[in-house]
Structure formats: structure tokens, C-alpha cells
Amino acid sequence: MYNTTVQPCSNYKSRGTTMYSMKDVCDKYSMPYETLRFYCNEGLIPNVKRDHNNYRMFDERDLAWIDGLQCLRKCGLGIKELKVYLSLAMEGPSTISKRKAMLEKQRIELLEKKDEIDKSLAYINKKTNYYDDVEKGKIKYSSNLIDID
């Protein structure tokens, strides 16, 4: 869903693994530099590597985590919740049920929002069709707000 191709910065490699700069990652995810730096400073991206100039560098595993992090953020998880999720993930498979519970809770919230959006879209479609019919002369205009002669 969020997975796109990114070119590594200057083919930098660390122990045989292609590494990506902050700019590369920001470009890949259309993320402001400040956001990625914030995530790093908040500890939301664990085990960040540094190059010989002390610049942050990311490998494919980091990119996969950032991809998921971005998705969870867009799904409505707050920073505090992301930290809890990360902490659980860092503990390994013993916390899978807790992470699933967090995701299920968020899934339910998203479905509720989707239902609200679907209802709103249905109303907009109904009103748009009504206005189309009025403009085409198929029906007479009426209003709940004003008297029409």
C-alpha cells in the first residue's frame, strides 16, 4: 500500500547492506524531514544507524518499519500509542496478542469512521442528484429553509 521504490544515497553500504539517507526516506514517503527527525528523536525508529559523518542512515528493515509506522499513524494511532506498539514489538512474539488487540481496536474505530464517511457521501450524492434533477427541470425545487412560490 505504501511501498514504493527508493534509490539509495550514493550506493552507501554498511556491512554489505544498502543504506538510505534521511532525505531518501523523506522522499520515499513524502514525509517532511522534521517528521522523520521527530520520529527518530522520540525513539519511534529503533536502532538507527549512523554513517562516518554521524548522519542517520536507514536499511531495508528500517524502511519496512517506517512504512508500517506511517500506515499506523495514518490509521489514527497517536505518538503515545505508537510507542506502546513499538515497545511491544521489541519484546518479540510473546506480545503478538497485545499488538493484535491494539490493531483490532483501531480497525473498529476506522470502520466506524468509514461508516460515517459513507453516510456523508450518500447524503452528498442524494443532494447532488436532486440538484441535477432540478436544473434539468425534472422536478420542482423545494426548500426546508425558505418558502418557494
pLDDT tens per residue across span 79-109: 999 999 999 999 999 999 999 999 999 999 9
Q: Which amino acid is at 54?
A: N
pTM comes to: 0.76
Q: How confident is the model at residue 148 (pLDDT cuts 50, 70, 90)?
A: confident
SS3 56: strand
- The greatest distance separating any two alpha carbons of the chain, rounded to the nearest whole angstrom, comes to 81
pLDDT at 7: 45
Which grid coordinates are listed for 110?
476506522
| CB within 8 Å of 9: residues ≥ 6 apart | 19, 20, 21, 23, 24
pLDDT averaged over every residue in the chain: 90
The yes-or-no verdict on residue 78 having pLDDT over 70 is yes
Over residues 55-60, mean pLDDT: 96
The yes-or-no verdict on residue 34 having pLDDT over 70 is yes
Domains of the chain: 9-90 (1.10.1660.10), 108-149 (no CATH)
Which grid coordinates are listed for 81?
500509542
